[in-house]
Copies of this chain bind each other. A is one copy, B any other.
Amino acid sequence: MVISMINRLVEKIRQTKAPIVVGLDPMMNYIPGHIKTKAFAEYGETLAGAGEAIWQYNKAIVDHISDLIPAVKPQIAMYEQFGIEGLRAFQRTIDYCRDKGLVIIGDIKRGDIGSTSEAYAIGHMGQAQVGSQSFYGFNEDFVTVNPYMGSDGVKPFIEVGKKEGKGIFVLVKTSNPSSEEFQDRLVDGKPLYEIVAEKVAEWGADHMGDEYSYVGAVVGATYPEQGKILRKVMPKSLILVPGYGAQGGRGADLAHFFNQDGSGAIINSSRGIIAAFREASYSAYGEANFAEASRAAVEDMIADITQAIV
């Protein structure tokens, strides 16, 4: 039986009382020296060594936080930069997080047209046919999708996801300063991101889970006023909110991304969690206890967001 991942994600957010997702976006300079030393001793200063260091770093963090959170969001670019060996660490991280019961949102921001979008969807959510056999590729539960090419580009992701009970988050209003260059341009008096949001609501209407649709949206924490409007344009879409913490968003800014009942959004933090030990507030843990620092940062983030949405 196919498990509905949108229902599972909504349920896990309720169970954990944590509408948050941790971005597993490792950078080499975040990784504690002892992990790198060990990985390089085994594999050398090579791409394989980098992959091993990333994997050991992720594993330790996941081991320390998996009981507190519903989901993780690995950013594939941080792995892809090390080529095949980096992507192997991405794969190991996904497989491990699944074993730990976490929902996996692949932050891949793919988008193409027709059979090409379908191929991306198969590689990340579905099963590839090889002769008489079929195999999962990276096997995430959700992926992020770029809408620039319109319905032709997005629908193949929805269709492949449907077979597997999986869903997508479409980029609507991204958290970066220059998102205004194209996304905020006025079309018939409305910013483009709102036109995209209307499409997200339309695509999602035909693909509903119990409470929320399989078609979610990405809206940056750095734009709370826009979040307020977009929440209403897409009442049935789960909103994935990047930009908390390191990029400037704080709990109080986030209330509007949620529906009245306190559901409907999931806030991402990456660096603020995985590299917490490098910040002044958690520096007492020291590099050796980096994963404990990550756990403390998760607990603080949950408290910050919970008080904002009560």
Contacts and interface: CB of A to CB of B under 8 A. Distances in A.
A152 interface: yes
Contacts of A123: 77, 80-83, 86
Contacts of A36: 131
- This chain's copy number in the assembly: 2
Given A86-B123, A137-B82, A40 B131 contact: yes
A122 interface: yes
Contacts of A112: 75, 77, 109
A180 B77 contact: no
A82 B135 CA distance: 8
Interface residues of A, number: 73
B130 A183 contact: no
A105 interface: no
A45 interface: yes
A138 interface: yes
Given A86-B123, A150-B180, A181-B199, 20 more contacts: A27-B115, A45-B133, A47-B137, A80-B123, A80-B137, A81-B119, A81-B122, A109-B110, A114-B176, A146-B146, A147-B148, A148-B148, A148-B171, A149-B178, A149-B183, A150-B179, A150-B181, A152-B176, A185-B192, A187-B192
Contacts of A171: 148-149
A180 B148 CA distance: 10
A42 to B, nearest CB: 13
* CB-based closest 10 A-B pairs: A83-B137, A150-B178, A150-B181, A45-B131, A81-B123, A77-B119, A81-B119, A113-B176, A152-B178, A185-B187
